[in-house]
């Protein structure tokens, strides 16, 4: 949640020394918050592709977003680190298809119309049976230990999800984890399905089970952290995400969600540190990050830094949905004379 909400609700407005900014600039920030609080009309999809042995394919990985009818929405190759990202995806049901020579096609159904405006997926590709010499041990330990019956139930559930038969998919995932409770991948997919059905308690239990059974499988950490943040349970989200960072320090998504958690806990210095780590690690940071950093700096009364972040956002997305309001706020900050002040320079 942006600091502008506090600007609107608090008697001690952030720019209380400047009535003009308090009246107009503060109101503009409230409008900006309202846009984000109501939910963006598009979604950013981030992810990383790896093999089931935990290796990264340097090239040849294609990532495709399509409608349920198979019509192309967006397509791009994963980069040399296996990462991909899509901006401006419509908030609707779609299908994620990942292909690479020598590996089975990965397909999964995504409901981008639900929840956060940024969705993260870690994709695991398995060697094609037709590809000689590709076989390798599974990355997540529980994949190797899961009995054949549990794996079969998981495969059926995956097909059910592609057909959007959520009830049947849930039934098969529940059978998979009943046969082998420590099947971390199945527990994580079951959690995602339960979250979609608004069974948050069930989703949380499944994710905690996945983490406890297979602590090196990082997917449950980011899924649980995001879910707890969306529920504003920031004190619960932070330690989950911190553990994710310890296990996967190069995954910038953890730092992004940690920034959200620390901001929610009013730990603004820590939130700024985590957001800045996203800039260091991500090859293409979300442009929304500039808005979040600007908000943190406003809370800290570091006006010059806040202005700089707004300016970077406008340069990155001059016609973005937040650009008109941010430009207005920048003008009001200039008019109020709060830039390049001694107290701002100290920040």
Give DSSP secondary structure letters for 58-116.
Answer: -S-EEEEEE-TT--EEEEEE--TTSEEEEEEEESSEEEEEEEETTBPPEEEEEETTSS-
Instruction: Supply the pLDDT for residue 71.
Output: 81
Whether residue 321 has pLDDT greater than 50? yes
Instruction: Supply the pLDDT for residue 116.
Output: 62
Structure tokens at 65: 């977003």
What tens digit of pLDDT does each residue of 183-234 get?
998 999 899 889 888 899 999 999 999 999 989 888 899 889 989 998 999 9
Structure tokens at 43: 């979604």
| 50 vs 273: which has the higher pLDDT | 273
Q: In whole angstroms, what separates CA 1 from the centre of its chain? A: 15
Structure tokens at 268: 């603004």
Rounded mean pLDDT, 79-96: 84
Whether residue 110 has pLDDT greater than 60? yes
Residue in 167, 164, 165, 171 with CA at minimum distance from that of residue 186: 171
Rounded mean pLDDT, 61-67: 88
Instruction: Supply the pLDDT for residue 243.
Output: 94
- 347 C-beta neighbours (distance < 10 Å), count: 12
Residue 150 pLDDT level (bands cut at 50, 70, 90): very high
Give the C-alpha separation, 287 to 316, whole Å.
Answer: 7
Rounded mean pLDDT, 61-73: 84
Prediction pTM value: 0.69
Q: Which DSSP symbol is given to 22? A: I
Give the C-alpha separation, 260 to 104, whole Å.
Answer: 36
Ordered structural domains, the chain, with CATH: 42-140 (2.60.40.1120), 141-214 (1.25.40.10)
């Amino acid at each position: 949640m942006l600091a502008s909400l506090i600007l609107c609700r608090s008697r001690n407005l952030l720019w209380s020394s400047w009535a003009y900014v308090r009246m107009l600039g503060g109101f503009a920030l409230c409008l900006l918050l309202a846009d984000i609080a109501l939910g963006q009309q598009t979604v950013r999809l981030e992810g990383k592709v790896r093999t089931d042995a935990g290796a990264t394919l340097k090239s040849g990985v294609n990532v495709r977003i399509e409608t349920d009818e198979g019509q192309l929405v967006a397509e791009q190759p994963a980069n040399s680190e296996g990462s991909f990202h899509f901006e401006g995806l419509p908030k609707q049901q779609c299908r994620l298809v990942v292909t690479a020579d020598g590996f089975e096609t990965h397909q999964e159904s995504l409901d981008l119309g639900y929840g956060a405006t940024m969705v993260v997926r870690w994709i695991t590709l398995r060697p094609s049976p037709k590809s000689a010499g590709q076989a390798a041990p599974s990355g997540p330990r529980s994949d190797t230990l899961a009995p054949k019956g549990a794996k079969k139930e998981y495969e059926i559930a995956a097909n059910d999800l592609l057909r959007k038969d959520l009830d049947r998919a849930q039934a098969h995932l529940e059978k998979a984890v009943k046969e082998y409770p420590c099947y971390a991948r199945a527990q994580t997919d079951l959690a995602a399905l339960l979250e979609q059905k608004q069974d948050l308690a069930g989703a949380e239990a499944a994710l905690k089970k996945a983490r406890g059974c297979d602590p090196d499988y990082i997917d449950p950490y980011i899924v649980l952290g995001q879910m707890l943040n969306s529920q504003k349970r920031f004190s619960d989200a932070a330690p989950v995400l911190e553990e994710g960072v310890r296990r996967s320090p190069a995954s910038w998504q953890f730092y992004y969600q940690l920034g959200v958690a620390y901001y929610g806990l009013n730990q603004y210095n820590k939130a700024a540190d985590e957001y800045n780590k996203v800039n260091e690690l991500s090859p293409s940071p979300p442009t929304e990050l500039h808005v979040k950093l600007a908000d943190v700096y406003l809370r800290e009364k570091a006006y010059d830094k806040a202005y700089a972040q707004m300016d970077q956002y406008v340069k990155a997305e001059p016609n973005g949905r937040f650009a008109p309001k941010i430009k207005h706020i920048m003008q009001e900050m200039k008019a109020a004379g709060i830039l390049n002040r001694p107290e701002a320079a100290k920040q």
